Amino acid sequence: MFLKKIAIKTLSVTIGTIPLVTFAQLTTPVSAPITSITQLPTLLNSILGWFQAIFFGIAGIFIVLAAFGYLTAGGDEEKVRGAKQMLVYTAVALAVAVMATAVRGIVVTLLSV
């Protein structure tokens, strides 16, 4: 019972602070309309930044939900398996997102040379 209360409080605090941490990473908000084609990359980078922030925020929520499912499984093998599966899928999605960001950076660097 004590662990359940701690898990619920931790989950509440984590879910409450995820948006603050996620949106703290945004650095280039869209502030002016596009007036020429040369401003298009700036707009696309801004939109990509928003999508990344939202994706990583949702991934963080899924990690917390997987941990909560694992903690509240109560020894039920099916619930433990489901929580582990959710955690693995989230880790794979995060790895793909990080690799996509890295590949994008490499391509931009190669094309700008």
In a domain, 33, yes or no: no
Q: pLDDT, tens digit, for every residue of 32-58?
A: 667 777 777 777 888 888 888 889 889
Q: Which domain holds residue 10?
A: 2-26+40-112
Q: Are 43 and 34 in contact (CB under 8 A)?
A: yes
Residue with tokens 């990344």: 52
In a domain, 64, yes or no: yes
Closest CA to 28 of 42, 38, 17, 15: 42
Classify residue 36 by its DSSP letter.
S
- Higher confidence at residue 28 or residue 43? 43
Q: Are 86 and 65 in contact (CB under 8 A)?
A: yes
Residue 89 structure tokens: 């899928």
In a domain, 78, yes or no: yes
Predicted pLDDT at 91: 93
pLDDT mean across residues, the chain: 81
Q: What is the tally of structural domains in the chain? A: 1
In a domain, 34, yes or no: no
Predicted pLDDT at 4: 74
Closest CA to 66 of 5, 11, 9, 6: 11
